[in-house]
Structure 1
Amino acid sequence: MTPTLTPPPEAEARPVTGERCDRCSAAAKLRVTLAGGDDLVFCGHHANKYAESLVKIAVDFTADSEFDWRGSELLTSEN
């Protein structure tokens, strides 16, 4: 079983509105927070393409309210 890390309570996820994908510069749909506190931001295409890898390294995520990220299903099925 993989341990789950949680960010400190004072850490608040920033919304993805107005940001651009780190891979292709399309409109961001997902922000993934890593254990070290860094963020990765992805468009819907790249968020779903890399979902299996992202759930392994993410401690938290914020998705656009209208975006259904495949990784959220993977996180739910692991718990």
Structure 2
Amino acid sequence: MSNPVSFQTVIEYVDALSPEDLDLLFELIRKKRIEQRRQEIASNAAETLAALAAGQAKRGTIADLRADLLVDNENSCLGW
């Protein structure tokens, strides 16, 4: 978008829409947010796989995670 508009202007435009156009706008925004979230998830997955490949991440069960968190918490309480 070459000329950004203020949020207030957008609200005024939305208020002027017909109910049908408003429904279409809501659907377009919903789909855009879904696609953005998919891209965020894919990016996070790629970062996680890269960290695993580089040996910078651990794999394990929930029990393993809890044990690691408890050890980290105990160490931080001891000033380590």
In which range does the TM-score fall when normalised by the shorter chain? under 0.3
In our comparison, the structure showing a higher alpha carbon Rg is: 2
| Larger helix share, 1 or 2 | 2
* TM-score of the aligned structures, taking structure 2 as reference length: 0.27
TM-score with structure 1 length normalisation?
A: 0.27
